Amino acid sequence: MRLIRGLTNLKMLSRREDSPLANGCVATIGNFDGVHLGHKTIIDQVKSKSEALGVPSVVMIFEPQPREFFQGSEAPPRLMGFRQKFEALLAEGIDIVLCLRFNQAFRSYSAMGFIDDVLIQGLAVQHLVVGDDFRFGCDRAGDFALLEKVGKEAGFTVENTRTVTVGGERVSSTRVRDSLTVNGLEKAESLLGHPYRIRGRVVYGRQLGRQIGAPTANILLHRTPALRGVYVVAATLDDGSRFDGVANIGVRPTVDGKRPSLEVHLFDFAGTLYGQHLEVVFRQGLRDEEKFDSVDELKEQIARDFEHARAWIAENGSVKSAD
């Protein structure tokens, strides 16, 4: 799988004789936040057509996501970061991920400029899979009808995405996000096709957890998370080993936290995790994140959290016993 970052790199690649896009591609465009069941159906459409035509499959995504560019801090929470999204698309068998920087210059692209520069000159697209409500270009002037019209003239075809429903409603990132916001982990799992998880790199924190007898692996979150609170979790380390644990996701109000973070305490683990990438699966909510009057009160609550988590794991099963 290849990652192409930015329009400049796409143009440079398209000029090379050995370019993987020399014979064109089958592409789709979107945020793919969460890579849920609806996204996987679109990916299957793309892969099926790319195999039939003998050309690479391409997913085009944007950083930041368009709503993050336009709405800033008011944008909806992310379901996954860029690296996790890339790895999820890799796991689905996509050949190329094209990540374009969504900035003022890109936002000002005309619809025809986008079609000419990105789809035709850059990707040499043979077939495009997008929703019939897809809009693009400056002021969202481009639509499905324009793509079909230009495609007939330029030699590429356009296909509508298939709709996937769960519980009678269309699967979407918004539905997953809304489910997580109200702690609906089971509902989110039914939409994603797997339990909700966050994957990130362990960084140095303030080491407060170690000072109060509950050392944590700190994963910095670059965007506001959809989940907030304390959870029973299962974590997988770089070497594949798995541990039960408890995680707090939020801004840590008791210690005047400013940036959102994910703090994970692994039961029965001894060692150093700095620099590793942890995959954290959220199994059960324990309580909301709250501000305590003192660190001592926080320490007492953490002890209760650990006790409740171990009781839940004893009843529902340990990830370590599944190894």
212 has a pLDDT exceeding 70:
no
pLDDT at 290: 84
Encoded amino acid at 249, one letter: I
130 has a pLDDT exceeding 80:
yes
**Rounded CA separation 261/220 (Å):** 5
89 has a pLDDT exceeding 70:
yes
pLDDT at 224: 81
64 has a pLDDT exceeding 80:
yes
123 has a pLDDT exceeding 80:
yes
CA nearest to 176, candidates 36, 32, 30: 36
pLDDT at 316: 96
Concatenate the DSSP letters of all residues of 62-113 into one string: EES-HHHHHHGGGSPPBSS-HHHHHHHHHHTT-SEEEEEE-SHHHHT--HHH
85 has a pLDDT exceeding 80:
yes
pLDDT at 233: 98
What does the block give as tokens for 10? 């796409």
171 has a pLDDT exceeding 70:
yes
Contact 192, 34 (CB under 8 A): yes
Q: Which fold has domain 2-166?
A: Rossmann fold (3.40.50)
Share of the chain above pLDDT 70, in %: 94
pLDDT at 258: 65
214 has a pLDDT exceeding 80:
no
Burial of 163 (0-12, 13-18, 19+ CB in 10 A): exposed
The chain-wide mean pLDDT, for the chain, equals: 92
266 has a pLDDT exceeding 80:
yes
pLDDT at 250: 86
60 has a pLDDT exceeding 60:
yes
pLDDT at 71: 94
244 has a pLDDT exceeding 60:
yes
What does the block give as tokens for 162? 């298939």
pLDDT in tens, 43-55: 999 999 999 999 9
pLDDT in tens, 269-312: 988 898 999 999 999 999 998 888 788 888 899 999 999 999 99
Res. 321 pLDDT band, cuts 50 70 90: low
Mean pLDDT of 9-18: 93
322 has a pLDDT exceeding 70:
no
Of the ranges 24-28, 149-153, 318-322, which one carries the lowest mean pLDDT score? 318-322
Contact 220, 202 (CB under 8 A): no
207 has a pLDDT exceeding 60:
no
pLDDT at 14: 92
Same fold, 2-166 and 196-322: no
pLDDT at 215: 83
Task: Give the domain ranges of the chain.
Answer: 2-166, 196-322
Tell me which CATH code domain 196-322 carries: 2.40.30.30
